[in-house]
Amino acid sequence: MTDPAALGFHMPPEWARHARSWMAWPCREETFPDSLEAARDAYAAVARAIARFEPLSMVVNPGEEADARTRCGSRVDIVVRPHDDSWMRDIGPTFLIDGKGGLGAVDWRFNAWGGNFAGHAGDAAMAEGLAELTGAKRFQAPIFMEGGAIHTDGEGTLITTDSVVLNPNRNPGLTRAEAEKIFRAFLGIEKTIWLEAPLEYDDTDGHIDNLICFARPGLALALDEPDPADPHHAGLRENIRRLRAETDARGRPFEVVPLVEPRRREMDGHRLAASYINFYICNDAVIVPVFNDPGDQAALTAIAACFPGRQTVAVPGLDIVRGGGCVHCITQQQPEV
């Protein structure tokens, strides 16, 4: 098989225009114990917010169409397809474009975040199914990974974490150099920057979309914890230091905007991985989770300043983050071609 990059494909940035967004309807009781109904309401709120700005398709299991339609409203398209969980960023394809009207889709191998749960055949087949539905040329990747593990500026720079990509629970023996070669071949990446994954409790082993993201080439937003006594402080500050010391694939230094994380919240004795970085950029808007936290407004103001010309839309995040992720984790963009 010819690699996508050799055919002219690359992964565009999230802020490039979208043809539509994709989500998956919550269905797994174990993910949202005693809160599945609240999670469905929260997912529906995100879907309705995105659908104000671009088409959105919600993938639902057979028999759940009516419930999803009622909660999401008429602007959201319903697509019936079996799945096991509801994190479309991780189970859907990473879409590519070739600049000539072609749409590609990278199908990362999926083993439920390193074997977190059994019974994930529907999720593992999601990327292939959406590639077929969208008419994208499918490229089967040689490694186990999830879409939330990577973020690109669309100009050759990618950020990720060793704790996901090189984790023995996904890719035993894989080296940074080997991973970077795959990112070049499948995503058109010229430079990969490896960062820390310091969150106390993170089912993903350290997805980058909770930690740092680009707002445009040369500008990144980074999760921060200013309290030296907090276990997150050292690792988050190290990410900011490391990125400020780096240059992108085109040799430009980075401006880094810190976003102070929400105050500590726990569920079943574990700290929730609540992060303002876990937002979603759609056409003409940024959909930002808020957590009924004193820091919500400061985060919204900072994010709005980084995205001039886009509306900043706040959506409730607590009922999503109780399942382990947030707004970025439950969405996947399909770029315009």
CA distance 303 to 182: 32
Q: Annotated catalytic, 72? A: no
3-state helix, strand, coil in the chain (%, to 5): 30, 25, 45
Spell out the alpha helix ranges (H) of 110-221. Answer: 112-115, 121-124, 126-134, 162-165, 176-187
Q: Which residues contact 2 (CB under 8 A, 6 or more apart)?
A: none
Q: Which of 63, 66, 102, 108 is CA-nearest to residue 90?
A: 108
Bridge partners for 77 per DSSP: 57
- Asked if 3 contacts 36 with a C-beta cutoff of 8 angstroms, the reply is no
- Out of 72, 306, 326, 329, the active site residue is 329
CB atoms near residue 137 (< 10 Å)? 14
Is the Cα dihedral 147, 149, 154, 158 positive or negative? negative
CA distance 151 to 69: 31
| Active-site residue list | 329
